[in-house]
Structure 1
């Protein structure tokens, strides 16, 4: 179910409902590989371990962070509105927010940056969307799980993933 266009709240809700036990991933799409400031967003769930979701089960939107930054840009926040509405509407107890990076930089740096990005998205979802904090957990996996395994430095590897768990 990989999507490359902006999804409505209803479409995301349907995907969350379908993927309750398998997860939902939100990653960037249609990115210019020369744009070093682009990164992705995705949702996650309760376990402290990363559980990859098959690419065909992913739903894609494009969220950008500035290069080497975990700050959520103001111009990217409106893109999370459909996600916020879906998270409120769907019968899911816990979402895990998983931060990812590309392979540029040291593994330690990437691990920390991925966690900071996941925490920033969590902060936004709590503060601006009104999602209950206890429904959101964060995990940073750094460069360990690239979306584009053939090119570990590819833009699409810099993302925050959201997984819905029952």
Structure 2
């Protein structure tokens, strides 16, 4: 889109969620500490007794393009949270970085932060899109549950393998990361 003070603004298409194929591949886990809920196609007859109403069919809307500011590496001040191959789990060695960032966020007057998940170049685009958002959501969950950050201050998004940190080695570990942006 353009440049300003060394910042390259790029429009990121379709980052609102996984593709239909990726959503179909991804298993759905029950909520933590709870049982899964199964919803069958029993019609609307039983809804009146439960007080529930049938949902109106969703109206398709055009995805809103997301602008991602990408700084040249020499201009970045970056706290990267790194992940193991094929994982969205936070490792213990990354938690001190998260704790430090938590203290900074609490003391900051910045109203909103974006947590951006990335992957290396191994795997399909659909798989990497899903894994990158899972990484960002795991960090978001940590900030809310462990640090007490208000969830309205956080936005999680995944960019898959679009913005490799180490372009010379697309499968390098430093490409599997979460980065942070101050939005307002």
Scaled by the length of structure 1, the TM-score of the pair is: 0.66
Q: Which residues of 2 match residues 75-154 of structure 1 at below 5 A?
A: 75-154=93-172
1:114-162 deviations in whole A, cap 9, x for unaligned? Answer: 0000000000011111111000001100001111222222222111010
2 CA distance for matches of 1:87 and 1:65? 21
Classify the secondary structure of the residue corresponding to 1:51.
Answer: strand
2 CA distance for matches of 1:94 and 1:53? 19
| Equivalent pair of 1:50/1:141 in contact (CA under 8 Å) | no
Q: 1:49 aligns with which of 50, 60, 67?
A: 67
2 CA distance for matches of 1:65 and 1:150? 19
For residue 161 of structure 1, what is the aligned residue in structure 2? 179
Question: Any gaps of 5 or more consecutive residues in structure 2?
Answer: 1-6, 8-64
The offset of 1:60, in angstroms, is: 4.2
CA-atom RMSD, angstroms?
Answer: 1.9
Which structure has more relative contact order (CA 8 Å, sep 6+)? It is 1
The offset of 1:61, in angstroms, is: 4.4
For residue 19 of structure 1, what is the aligned residue in structure 2? none
| Equivalent pair of 2:114/2:155 in contact (CA under 8 Å) | yes
Classify the secondary structure of the residue corresponding to 2:113.
Answer: strand
| Equivalent pair of 1:95/1:163 in contact (CA under 8 Å) | yes
Classify the secondary structure of the residue corresponding to 1:152.
Answer: coil
Greater C-alpha radius of gyration: 2
1:18-61 deviations in whole A, cap 9, x for unaligned? Answer: xxxx7xxxxxxxxxxxxxxxxxxxxxxxx833221221232344
1:89-129 deviations in whole A, cap 9, x for unaligned? Answer: 11111100000011011111111000000000000011111
Give the structure with the higher percent strand. 2
| Equivalent pair of 2:113/2:181 in contact (CA under 8 Å) | yes
2 CA distance for matches of 1:152 and 1:94? 30
When the two structures are aligned, how many residues end up with a matched partner? 121
